[in-house]
């Protein structure tokens, strides 16, 4: 059975949503939600933020040899004995596109043991030392180093 839930502050009574994107638009490590409208008439964007918290995070931005986002790359991290994976995709919704960054929420974990980026052309870049958290790593293709 389906039941309607109260969505609280996310309720936009006057809006006609046509697309939404999630990203760290202000670069504070917390993801924001941007809702775009206007398919049938001009309407403003809506931006939603979560309250600041003490959770740790890591963002990985893989870059091709030509300097573009590495769409199709698979980013894997190991932190506190746990693996997490993200795929850098070319788009993920109707009339919207997410940022080409792998965002990992880490909670209280304060370092990452391994970061591995599998590029679409078969090359891999691995960082195996303790990687500090609460930062964005821009990782170039191995042949661009």
Looking at the chain, the whole-number percentage of residues with pLDDT higher than 90 is: 61
What pLDDT is attached to residue 10?
A: 67
Neighbours of 116 (CB within 10 A): 18
What pLDDT is attached to residue 2?
A: 72
What pLDDT is attached to residue 93?
A: 67
Q: How many Cα atoms are found within 13 Å in the side-chain-facing hemisphere of 16?
A: 6
Residue whose token pair is 């958290």:
133
Residue 8: pLDDT band by 50, 70, 90 thresholds? confident
Query: Residues 70-78: what's their mean pLDDT?
Result: 97
40 token code pair: 């049938």
Burial annotation 51-74 (CB, 10 A radius, 16+ → b, else e): eeeeebbbbbbbbbeeeeebebbb
What pLDDT is attached to residue 60?
A: 98
What pLDDT is attached to residue 46?
A: 81
Q: Say if strands 56-63 and 135-140 run parallel, antiparallel, or are unpaired.
A: parallel
- pLDDT tens digits for range 102-132: 999 999 999 999 999 999 999 999 998 889 9
Contact 100, 82 (CB under 8 A): no
């Amino acid at each position: 059975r389906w039941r309607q839930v109260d969505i609280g502050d996310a309720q936009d009574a006057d809006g006609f949503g046509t697309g939404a994107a999630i990203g760290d638009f202000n670069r504070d490590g917390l993801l924001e939600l941007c809702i775009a409208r206007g398919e049938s008439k001009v309407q403003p964007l809506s931006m939603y933020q979560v309250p600041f918290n003490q959770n740790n995070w890591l963002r990985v931005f893989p870059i091709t040899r030509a300097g573009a986002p590495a769409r199709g790359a698979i980013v894997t991290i190991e932190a506190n004995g746990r693996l997490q994976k993200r795929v850098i995709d070319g788009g993920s919704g109707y009339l919207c596109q997410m940022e080409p960054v792998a965002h990992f929420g880490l909670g209280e974990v304060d370092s990452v043991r391994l970061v591995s980026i599998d590029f679409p052309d078969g090359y891999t870049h691995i960082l195996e030392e303790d990687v500090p958290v609460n930062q964005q790593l821009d990782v170039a293709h191995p042949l661009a180093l």
